Amino acid sequence: MSEELTMPRLSDTMEQGTIGRWLKREGESFHEGDVIAEIETDKATMDFQAYEDGTMLRILVADGESAPLGAPIAIIGAEGEEVPDDAPAAASANGDGGAEKPAGEGEAAEPEPQTEEQAPVATATEAAPSNGAPADGGGLRASPIARRMADAGGLDLRTLAGKGTGPDGRIVKADVERALASGANAGPAAPGTPQPPGEGDEVRELTPMLKAVARRMAESKASVPHFYVSSEIDMTRALELRAELNEALADSGEKVSVNDLIVRACAQALLQHPQAHRSYVDGHHVYHAHANIGIAVALDDGLIVPVLRDADSKGVRQLAVEIRDLVTRARDGKLRQSEIEGGTFTVSNMGMFDVAAFSAIINPPESTILAVSSTVERAVVRDGAVVPREIMSVTLSCDHRACSGADGARLLQTVKRHLEAPTLLLA
């Protein structure tokens, strides 16, 4: 008997998913454990495996389309089985899919399910939007997201009357995007709203990952009281140690990076300073038994933070191997769910980009994140003499609800001590 496949929960913060591509098409059979689709979540692209043997009878959400968590995305069953006439239509998360139904004559349109990119929409009893289009339809049918986009872009929806491409001529998101891109009949935007795209500008939808990054970073800066502690670390001896290690490991193919040494120093320091290694959660402090360190990895279009678990229990060589593996699979979109959650601290290293200094935004519920800048050769005074040294700037961002200024300073001081006396990293 046929059954629905629904959008699975593939991350702890997932609210919707996007079908990257179906690996099984309609009419094709599969076995339990086969990967039948690739689904883009707010954190990564994940494989969706079949729970049992079956045949793909109907795809409801096509490649590149999104659906809310738990919405039907396909119908599966036995080979040759007919799909029931009452099978659900596609439930698109953007509000413009096949699940969209126009309101009947004289009826107010029912609110569509909200997704993370949709703001609350006006009902028939609320004030008309500032673009002049009647809120109750008034003969002009438009989806809530189309109304919101038109309002933000200063577009009078009445100029699109009779031109909608949705059901029964309803104006949908794509219609507004085309109108805004062409600049057709767009008046001045309401005060405080974004300006419509200029001539030659390209408008692109955010990926689920970028939407999640934007949302979480905005929430963090708005709700977490950040403070910052900065220092300069003399990396001369650490770089010498790295060179010695890599020379000794040359035949094995292993290689230790500067970032591996930084992660090792942070893992050691975190266990020495539990006051700076705790999270503020629902009015309580959660002290972490192990240093699960996130490694910020820049992607072609976005950012992901795979988590190296129990970093405090691993030596430099093991850290180097595991970090390289995590970073490689992060860029290939092959991380497992357990590898992108559960972090207690993050290292964000932009030293390779010739960055003099920066401050990073905390990734809750973590309470600290270390921003690492470039290492540069500078003339410094040592024992009364001016000598060249390799100096690296770092800034520790702290959540003041979990970590005091002194706690953050002591943590950073210990990280510095371990990197300036790098034999401690081998202990």
- pLDDT by 10s per residue, the chain, length 427: 788 899 887 766 677 888 989 999 999 999 998 989 988 877 777 888 888 899 999 999 998 888 888 889 999 998 888 877 666 654 444 444 443 433 343 333 443 443 333 333 332 223 333 343 343 334 577 776 777 777 777 788 888 888 888 767 778 888 888 888 776 554 454 455 566 778 888 888 887 778 888 888 999 999 999 999 999 999 999 999 999 999 999 999 999 999 999 999 999 999 999 999 999 999 999 999 999 999 999 988 788 999 999 999 999 999 999 999 999 999 988 888 789 889 999 999 999 999 999 999 999 999 999 999 999 999 999 999 999 999 999 999 999 999 999 999 999 999 999 999 999 999 8
Query: Per CATH, is 224-426 categorized as 3.40.50.1440?
Result: no
Pick the closest to residue 347 from 290, 395, 405 (CA basis): 395
Q: How much is the pLDDT for 296? A: 96
Q: Is 262:319 a contact under the CB 8 Å cutoff?
A: no
Peptide bond into 365 cis (omega under 30): yes
Take residue 318 and report the two structure tokens written for it: 């093991």
Residue with tokens 């045949």: 55
Residue with tokens 């590898």: 339
Element (H, E) at 176: helix 173-182
Nearby residues of 303 by Cβ (< 8 Å), 6 or more positions away: 209, 213, 296, 297
Domain ranges of the chain: 3-77, 107-206, 224-426
CA–CA gap between residue 21 and residue 238 (Å, rounded): 45
Q: How much is the pLDDT for 171? A: 85
CA–CA gap between residue 104 and residue 137 (Å, rounded): 11
Residue with tokens 């999640």: 212
Q: How much is the pLDDT for 398? A: 98
DSSP code at position 340: G
Q: Is 327:306 a contact under the CB 8 Å cutoff?
A: yes
Q: How much is the pLDDT for 144? A: 66
Pick the closest to residue 337 from 13, 37, 16 (CA basis): 13
Q: How much is the pLDDT for 11? A: 67
Name the H helices within 227-378. 236-248, 258-272, 316-331
Query: Per CATH, is 3-77 categorized as 3.40.630.10?
Result: no
Q: How much is the pLDDT for 86? A: 62
CA–CA gap between residue 51 and residue 24 (Å, rounded): 14
Q: How much is the pLDDT for 194? A: 61
Element (H, E) at 40: strand 35-40
Q: How much is the pLDDT for 370? A: 98
Pick the closest to residue 296 from 336, 270, 272, 263 (CA basis): 263
CA–CA gap between residue 361 and residue 3 (Å, rounded): 44
The catalytic residue among 226, 285, 290, 400 is 400
Nearby residues of 93 by Cβ (< 8 Å), 6 or more positions away: 16, 65, 66, 67, 68, 71, 115
Cβ atoms < 10 Å from Cβ of 363: 22
Q: Tell me, yes or no, if 400 is annotated catalytic.
A: yes
Q: How much is the pLDDT for 158? A: 81
Q: What is the pTM of this model?
A: 0.64
In the sheet that 72-77 helps form, which strands lie side by side, from edge to edge? 3-6, 72-77, 54-59, 29-30
